[in-house]
Structure 1
């Protein structure tokens, strides 16, 4: 099938030459981009008038927890006034109630939000396994992703250290290392597609070092390298003092010691890292998923992006889970990330540009996920893109620089169109593959039945559901 995007105001490629194509066309053939240029003359199956519109590479979200979408907007869990370990102690009793209905509908909700805001590839760190989900959470997420048409990388997480040994985990959410590794093998056989334009992949993603045995991380490294899977975990978000008490090592040194580092590894948050550790990540080509919203909400240190860029450290962008963010809008994360860097720019020797942030959410996202077929717009790349209407009143006076427009001007609402793998999945304000009204109604019912009716955290809000 041929789809022709005709006469776009600007096509921002984010390619190696940072090219912008003005008053140009983009031709999609099946799953990939066939041509970009002026006056493409072809008989297409569908021609989309892009007059006044800007086209960008699809955004890539490299850290999230979809299940938390039904555990958000809770003032009773006072994250801004807690440390991360305190927050974990408070929130996990709610997480322990989660079943596969919650997994399925919360994943549909989060993925839909991502798509509406230009995201075409999503990674989710799914570490919530209870006596109710058993080991089927990722299966339900894959079903949701397939129904929406989003490109999905599932991080099979786990927590293996019981509370009696110093973790923050309720016993109902603790697994054995053996169970975890066996499920990695099952999911890889069932879902992992390593081929070009793959729509589903599996990532080995033990939740965090303080909530698992060292053996779990060691076995994670072994199975990932055996099956050629990528590795991911939380790191540098307040746990270093605990790791020093347990192992007399900071977390990154501990990861280096067991081999949980390298080009096939990316790490979430990392706001606790110092300059030497930034350099270590650059040396190993290990990337960071920067999640700006939870850093602000938690009052935590802000990554020094200019220093990281100068060191050559790769940094991508993530929403993080909705229990510490409350939305799944990567456009909003871009704006917040840019403003955070500007705020500290003068004392840190300068800020990165808003275009740098766009590349974090595209090119660098592809690097974190180990993908060479997504992240920028060029011939033979995957047809993953989003389009905005640059002719609206609120953007008047800004269209001369489409590269910097998104993060600098705060384009954070629904996009005009999202295409994934050559298929239009969002257009004219609506998802094209599901009934949004039905999803909203069913999702609210599940949230109330499983969580609101059974957790005291929702008790003050009973008049609201």
Structure 2
């Protein structure tokens, strides 16, 4: 299959920040084989995609999500993080594989329609007798046609052990580690064009024992997969960590071997200057979730300082129960606004926001050689944003239009050269059917006792 996108503006997000006012991208099967300025090379093409008035970028990379939460949007709307969790944990304890599949399919569809081609989903809820939760996510991803990094999460510290989750929602430590290893063995694909990869992801310091944290790190490094957890999201978390183990969450992570270039952490809002330097020195990644942080009022992450320290920073939507919109394209704008609220108008540029949403995310997931930029040899994971029409008329800088304006419709979303979205509509599955399934799953989840 040979496809060309022609007459388009292109923001490659390569190391030089190359941008092409009007050019082409040639795709053969899964790979980008040519990128350039001017008319497309002569030759036979199976499809020619008109890029006039449109911007090509790498497909966006979502570094932190909880897809199952699509079934519980709109609840606990005015709560702090800990209050929100206490209200929602009992509901999530009634999840089953069918509900998870419906919620994940809807969440992935929404992400695709906002320019996202790769999703890291942190799934840490494994109710007893709830079916195969990991397989539910794998099948949802196959249905929509995106790439997914399933972070096989876990919790082993319930209320009786001083944790937040109800005891019936946590696993035994060894069972959690065995479940993680099983997910890796069954689903982790090491190939460059992998659609499914697995990471190890104990949920957070306030729901996980030290044994599970260290055991997960040992397992991940033995198996050659990445590590992910929530860290330093709220001041409540810091206070609890100081009271229980005598150090900050970042210091605790360091103590347990949870800093390194195979680790990315969700949120990292409350970091001391020394912790920021440590994340940079160890090349530990950060998944910045600006809308979710705003929804829960947790604070503004020190993104500028993390970037300056050398830490990879990607963007995350977070679960739809704390970001009901569920789209990734709008996080470009939100990340820029929050950085400037914290550090002034020079804190983050439009290009840096786009970098975080693409190459920054690819670096967090260890896939910078495969995705994250529009370059020859990389996978053809591409977003073609439609900048025609009233909302973008007169904006001469297409990257500014993308980042600062309303999230543009997707003229075409390609994952490995295959069309997932065209003309703003999902092409791999029926949206109406997905919506009906989600509504039924959400109703059943809330009604089940």
Aligned residue for 1:355? 351
Superposed, 1:172-251 pairs within 5 Å as 172-238=168-234, 239-251=237-249
Is there any run of 5+ residues in structure 2 with no aligned partner, and where? none
Q: 1:459 matched to which residue of 2? A: none
What is the alpha-carbon distance in structure 2 between the residues aligned to residue 29 and residue 300 of structure 1? 45
Q: Secondary structure at the match of 2:202?
A: coil
The Cα shift of 1:413 comes to 4.6
**Cα deviations by residue, 1:418-441 (Å, 9 ceiling, x for unpaired):** 100110111023211111111211
SS at match of 2:370: coil
| More divergent stretch after superposition (117-126 vs 293-302) | 293-302
Aligned pairs (5 A) from 1:95-134: 95-134=92-131
Partner of residue 143, structure 1 = 139
Give CA deviations for 1:214-257 in whole Å, capped at 9, x if unaligned: 00001001100000000000000121111111111111111111
Q: Give the structure 1 partner of residue 4 of structure 2.
A: 4
Q: Is the 8 A contact 1:231 1:266 kept in 2?
A: yes
Task: Give the TM-score, by structure 2 length.
Answer: 0.96
State the partner residue of 2:253: 255
Moved more, 304-313 or 206-215: 304-313
SS of residue matched to 1:380? coil
2:371 pairs with 1:374: yes
Say if 2:408 is the partner of 1:409. Answer: no
The answer to whether the Cα contact below 8 Å between 1:98 and 1:132 also exists between their aligned partners in 2 is no
The structure-2 alpha-carbon separation of the partners of 1:261 and 1:345, relative to structure 1 and needing over 3 Å to count, comes to closer
Which of 416, 419, 425 pairs up with 1:424?
A: 419
| CA deviation map 1:339-386 (0-9, x unaligned) | 12222333xx83211211110010000000000200000101110011
- Partners of 1:255 and 1:307 in 2: how far apart? 19
Q: Distance in 2 between matches of 1:160 and 1:73?
A: 27
2-structure distance, mates of 1:352, 1:49: 32
Q: Does the CA contact (< 8 Å) of 2:279 and 2:306 recur in 1?
A: no
Distance 1:379 1:166 in 2: 52
Q: Which stretch of structure 1 is more off in the superposition, 179-188 or 141-150?
A: 179-188
Query: 1:173: how far off?
Result: 1.0
Deviations 1:178-217 (A, max 9, x none): 1122122221121111111111100000000111110000
**Are 2:71 and 2:441, in contact at CA under 8 Å, matched by a contact in 1?**
no
Q: Does residue 442 in structure 1 map to residue 440 in structure 2?
A: no
Q: Corresponding residue for 2:26?
A: 27
Correspondent of 1:312 among 290, 310, 313: 310
TM-score, structure 1 as length reference: 0.93
Cα deviation, 1:89-120, whole Å, max 9, x if unaligned, reads 12111111111111000000000000001000
Instruction: Check whether the contact 2:386–2:409 (CA below 8 A) recurs between aligned residues.
Output: no
- SS state at 2:373 partner: coil
After superposition, residues 255-294 of structure 1 pair within 5 angstroms as 255-294=253-292
Question: Which residue of structure 1 lines up, in the alignment, with residue 341 of structure 2?
Answer: 343
Say if 1:69 and 1:327, in contact at 8 Å, map to a contact too. Answer: no
Q: Confirm or deny: 8 A CA contact 2:387 2:401 kept in the other structure.
A: no
Whether the 8 Å contact between 1:99 and 1:130 is mirrored in structure 2 is: yes
Mean Cα deviation higher: 251-260 or 84-93: 84-93
The CA distance in 2 between the partners of 1:350 and 1:48, in whole Å, is 36
Secondary structure, in 3 states, of the residue corresponding to 2:197?
strand
Specify every segment of 5 or more residues in structure 1 that has no aligned partner in the other structure, as ranges. 456-465
Q: Which residue of 2 aligns with 1:73?
A: 74
Aligned length: 444
Deviates more, 1:37-46 or 1:261-270: 37-46
Indicate the SS of the match to 1:211: coil
- SS of the counterpart of 1:210? coil
State the SS of the aligned residue for 1:350.
coil
Return the offset for 1:305. 2.3
CA distance in structure 2 between the aligned counterparts of 1:351 and 1:147, rounded to whole angstroms: 39
